[in-house]
Amino acid sequence: MHRRGAVLMLAAVAMSLAAPAGAERHRRPAGVGTANPSALIAAEIAFARMAREKGQWTAFDKFADDEAVMFVPQPVMAKDWLKSQKDPAQPVQWEPYQVWMSCDGTLGVTKGEWHRPDGSVGYFTTIWKQQKKGDYRWVLDQGDTLTQSLEKPDWLSAVVADCPKRRGGPSSSKAGQEPERLREAGMDGGGQSDDGTLTWTYHVTAGNARTLSVSLSKGGEMTEVLSSSVAGQVQ
């Protein structure tokens, strides 16, 4: 997906991080203070490039975490749903405007605008999870149409969570534990970074209306930094 306006400071850094598909990148293990928002922009750039070159749904599948959830409009396991999708002749195009990231860099969120070849526009929110090798895959993708384009900022904003005090923290109880494999997308879902400084939750009603909330650790407490709602839709 084509990026308009290469004036974004983080995008310039991210371009140096974006490697060709399949290229191995070595990064420091996640830990206190290792957040790198430009890595999410690099992931978006690579994601976009693949969508242009290989096809929209092909790219969505390649960049999806095994437990990724999307809404069509009901919640579905993305990998399962994408298996039966045919790439459109022209992919939807998008660019990020805002980034939020946990202190340890294990979870991040991007929000921005998309537009389709037919002229329709909307916003997206994507939640990215760091993988064992240090790269990022999306675990939730959602958005909605808009009557007019979002106002494009002069600069892409990035906010990193405050780092937890060195007293163990939310991630200490997870050491050595492997999370159970998610087998079905529920009407409620969510997750958090390994250090607990970024959390997200969604809720879907029987009529497929949904809400999404993202909170970040700031000033000693969890503060909601993103909230969105989508009206119900018929499948």
Residue 21 has pLDDT above 80, yes or no: no
Residue 193 lies in a domain: no
The answer to the question of residue 198 being in a domain is no
What CATH number is given to the structural domain containing 78? 3.10.450.50
Which carries the bigger pLDDT value, residue 18 or residue 75?
Answer: 75
Which of the two residues, 108 and 52, has the higher pLDDT score?
108
Cα separation, 56 vs 75, in Å, equals 19
pTM to 2 decimals? Answer: 0.83
pLDDT digits over 95-151, tens only?
A: 999 999 999 999 999 999 998 989 999 999 999 999 999 999 999 999 999 999 998
Q: What's the confidence (pLDDT) of residue 7? A: 35
Residues 38 and 49: their CA atoms lie apart, in Å, by 16
Q: State the residue range of the domain holding 98.
A: 9-19+35-164
